[in-house]
Amino acid sequence: MKTRIGIPLLAIFLFTALISLFPRCREVSEQQPPVGIHTPDSVEGNDSVPATILLSSDFKRVVIARLKHNTDILQGIKDAVEKEGIHNAVILSGIGSTCRHHIHSVDNCTFPARNVFYEQEMPMDILCMNGYIIEGRVHAHISLSNGAQAIGGHLEPGTRVFTFCIITLGILEDEPSLERVDDLTWR
């Protein structure tokens, strides 16, 4: 009799423990897109937009930004962009650790895109960071891990540095324009 009761209780305990390892998320289906991201007027594609668009530029220089403990990573990148007068750049890499993360990712394959937001206070290592500075606007993605799980998506305000964060930016020429490279209506 004890065995029959013990196994279901053990299963519930293990399930509860497993669930607690995964980040809690809040889903926002009516969320407005981040500032600077264009929204589609229709779901139809435009035949005049080529399937592949190529832009070419040399790096003018490389800027390395180090963010200290408790700095908001997105704001730190924005501050570096403003301080250095960066117009267009590639986020080449990012390493470090966080004590809190706030990211979003898309949760469907039809337009309009639906965003799911993940926020959690927990220590995680930054596996990688990449993205673009487009006309002075930051569009960054981040991947995080704590050894048991990995999570990634668009970097949102509120992701805070734990030990440090080092971000490498490859600064591009101002031409060609990157204005529409992340415009989801340009399809």
Q: What is the pLDDT of residues 138-186, one digit of tens each?
A: 999 999 999 899 999 999 999 999 999 999 999 999 888 888 888 877 7
Show me where the domains of the chain are located. Answer: 5-172
125 contacts 97 by C-beta, under 8 angstroms: yes
Give 6-40 pLDDT, tens digit per residue.
Answer: 555 554 544 444 444 444 444 443 344 444 444 44
Place of tokens 């007027």: 41
List of residues 6+ apart from 92 with CB closer than 8 A: 62, 130, 168, 169, 170
Cβ atoms 115, 106 nearer than 8 A? yes
pLDDT tens for each residue of 46-59: 777 888 888 899 99
Ranking 39-43, 84-88, 115-119 by mean pLDDT, the lowest is 39-43
- Classify the phi-psi angles of 41: left when phi > 0, otherwise alpha if psi is within -120 to 50, otherwise beta: alpha
Cα–Cα distance for residue pair 95/128, rounded to 1 Å: 6
Predicted local confidence at residue 113, as pLDDT: 87
pLDDT for res 49: 81
Candidates 150, 186, 155; CA nearest to 91 is: 155
pTM (predicted TM-score)? 0.76
Listed in order, strand segments (DSSP E) in 25-88 are 25-28, 59-68
Total residues found in the chain within this entry: 187
Q: Which architecture characterizes domain 5-172 according to CATH?
A: 2-Layer Sandwich (3.30)
